[in-house]
Amino acid sequence: KQEVTQIPAALSVPEGENLVLNCSFTDSAIYNLQWFRQDPGKGLTSLLLIQSSQREQTSGRLNASLDKSSGRSTLYIAASQPGDSATYLCAVRPQNSGGSNYKLTFGKGTLLTVNP
Amino acid sequence: NAGVTQTPKFQVLKTGQSMTLQCAQDMNHNSMYWYRQDPGMGLRLIYYSASEGTTDKGEVPNGYNVSRLNKREFSLRLESAAPSQTSVYFCASSSDASVRGYTFGSGTRLTVV
């Protein structure tokens, strides 16, 4: 059974700092990995999706990397801002999951606080 | 804006009452999902639907029923609400295009007293 772990559970940094959030998974047979952001009391917003054949994806100040063989992904946030404060979740899609129907396995998230 | 719409956003029920959570997506996605999110437990899959007319149980289906009314709509019903069902419920959808992944609704916060 796939298990996804995110460490640390919470992280507090000063504004302007570069930071890395970690995600590890136990079964390397994945199709892709997706990073989400969740603001308090809100739904999940997709940030980046990395296919199993890719090493990284970038969007603005965000860069996500994937090392499938070691079961790890990182989300790098450059020049953090107070508006980046949120919970960040990663989720993996199983390898043998063609088509549109597939079940993601989620980590429990990292609560990020960026202090002004 | 295109996406996943959930109603209601908030609901308080008494133990034993019933209610239906509604979810609709306008992205022409085939698959839809219902999750619950609880502190310390993360997101847990309740039911999912691969296509119109089909539904399957997820990790925590007990106490819930679902209906895939058409391609757009996927509802979740609590027949006899219990305090253990106090949670935040999220609906999501996915398409064949692997580059898009899941799209989530904004959630329904349900309290059962």
| pLDDT tens-digit map of B60-106 | 999 999 999 899 999 999 999 999 999 999 999 987 665 678 899 99
Q: 3-class SS at B85? A: helix
Q: Which pLDDT score is estimated for B3?
A: 92
Q: Indicate if the pLDDT at residue A100 is higher than 80.
A: no
Q: Indicate if the pLDDT at residue A20 is higher than 60.
A: yes
Q: Which residue has the higher pLDDT, A64 or B69?
A: A64
Characterize the bridge pairing of strands A19-25 and A4-5: antiparallel
Q: Which pLDDT score is estimated for B69?
A: 85
Query: Is some CB atom of chain B closer than 8 A to the CB atom of A115?
Result: no
A17-46: average pLDDT: 94
Q: Indicate if the pLDDT at residue B54 is higher than 80.
A: yes
CA distance B35 to B107: 9
CA distance A104 to B113: 31
Please, which pLDDT band fits residue B1 given cuts at 50, 70 and 90? Answer: low
Q: Which residue has the higher pLDDT, A68 or B98?
A: A68
How many other C-beta atoms can be found within 10 angstroms of the C-beta atom of residue A35?
25
- How much of chain B exceeds pLDDT 90, in percent? 77
- How much of chain A exceeds pLDDT 90, in percent? 84
Please, which pLDDT band fits residue B44 given cuts at 50, 70 and 90? Answer: very high
What secondary structure does DSSP assign to A23-91, as a single string? EEES---EEEEEEEEE-TTS-EEEEEEEETT-SEEEETTEEEEEETTTTEEEEEESS--GGG-EEEEEE
Contact predicate B55/B45, CB 8 Å = no
Characterize the bridge pairing of strands B56-57 and B42-49: antiparallel
Cα angle A32, A38, A39 (rounded to 5 degrees) comes to 165
Please name which of B53, B55, B111 lies closest in space to residue B83, comparing C-alpha atoms. B111
Q: Which pLDDT score is estimated for A99?
A: 61
Q: Which pLDDT score is estimated for B108?
A: 96
Distance from CA of B91 to the nearest CA of A (A): 9
Residues 6+ positions from A20 with CB-CB distance below 8 Å: A74, A75, A76, A77
Task: List chain A residues with CB under 8 Å of B101.
Answer: 32, 34, 46, 49, 93
Around A92, how many Cα atoms within 13 Å sit in the side-chain half-sphere? 27
Residue B77 structure tokens: 């019903």
Contact A31 B98 (CB under 8 A): yes
Contact A100 B100 (CB under 8 A): no
Contacting A with CB below 8 Å, chain B residues are 29-31, 33, 40-43, 45, 48, 50-51, 58, 90, 92, 94-96, 98-107, 109
Q: Which pLDDT score is estimated for B111?
A: 97
Mean pLDDT score across all residues of chain A: 93
- How much of chain B exceeds pLDDT 70, in percent? 95
A45-64: average pLDDT: 94
